[in-house]
Amino acid sequence: MKFHQLPLLKTIQLNSENWLSSPGVIGTIVLIFIIIFLGVFIFLKRLNRYVDFLEKNTTDLTEEEFQRRLINLEEEDVDNILELRQQGFKTNVKPSNIAETSSKYIGIYVLLLFVFIISCKGENSKSHLHSNHSSRGWSYTGETAPKFWAQLVEDSDCGEKHQSPINIISKNAKKQTISKFKKYYSASTILTKVIYNGHSIEFDFKQGDSIVVGETNTFHLSQIHFHEPAEHKINGIIFPIEIHLVHKNKNNNYAVMSIFGMEGDESQLFEFLESFLPLKSGDSKSINTSVDLASIFPEDESYFIYKGSLTTPPCTEEVQWIVFTEPIILSLNEVKVLKENMPLNNFREEQPINGRVIYFFEDK
């Protein structure tokens, strides 16, 4: 076996379901503030009027004269004035004090209302930003880069313990004398279409070619896509490109064969595949023609095999990975064409192994 040296918050976040993000709720709360404000204002104004009445009508008046002056007032006002008089407000509280208190309360309520509205707008702004952040989906850069996938993508495995890709250290792999999988590829695989999904170029295939992992677990080839540079490493080495042949079984479980590519001679297979490019993001092109995928595999089919995950969201685990050690050769121009038709650096960072066992089978 040869290895080629190459120069090369979980935090709680506001979201659109936060109660403060509803304009109807905010409007209701503001209305309640206004009602309370008006209630306090009216109360203080009436209190001011009562105290003023007491101030003007208690000096040098007999009880009979005081009662006579109450006759023209509303019954509710009379009751309130008499209660205030009984409690001594006529001597302890002056109209000027009431006016001052009234102004103070009004000022406090206006300030509270202003702070509340500003805070609601701030929370709405955060919520809106978070909503936009989520709606953009995931990517390989900025706020939607791989390190944020676990928080960004709901119900995903991106933050779990058995993720891919990994750095495979050959000396730590357990050698196997019997291959753990068999490959059944024909010379006329039906290529149905090519898609640029915004993350990679993907070639889709009609069910036919397959691999068998273990005794009876059959996975059929579904699609092929690419990462530049490679996602997996072998002994820390990063190859210029990694090709993923994605297979699914009847239970929708995955098995992925990984093949590295390095620059050298021209590949007829890649010249054929790239003849259907370029594509704009989100575009697809129907092909429906047969292709021989034999040349996509290296001559030396030694491989590592381990359990990991998809390297893109939702990062589903329990994926059977088969990583070939020997790279295939592509021309510099072929690598360039792929790179120009995909996002720059569409790779996920190395993930911890976390005690997983990696097996190695040498093709003799």
pLDDT value, residue 29: 75
Residue 47, classed as helix, strand or coil, is helix
Cα dihedral sign, 14-19-21-26: negative
pLDDT value, residue 195: 95
Cα dihedral sign, 264-268-271-274: negative
Q: Would the pLDDT of 102 be above 90?
A: no
pLDDT value, residue 358: 98
CB atoms within 10 A of CB 116: 14
What average pLDDT is seen over the chain?
A: 80
Residues with active-site annotation:
199
Supply the Cα-derived Rg of the chain in whole angstroms.
38
Q: Lowest mean pLDDT: which of 40-49, 179-188, 300-309? A: 40-49
pLDDT value, residue 59: 60
Per residue in 208-239, pLDDT (tens digit) is 999 999 888 999 999 999 999 999 999 999 99
Per residue in 341-355, pLDDT (tens digit) is 999 899 999 999 999
51 — pLDDT class (breaks 50, 70, 90): low
pLDDT value, residue 66: 64
The crossing angle, in degrees rounded to 10, of helices 95-135 and 23-57 is 180
pLDDT value, residue 147: 94
Higher pLDDT residue, 237 or 32? Answer: 237
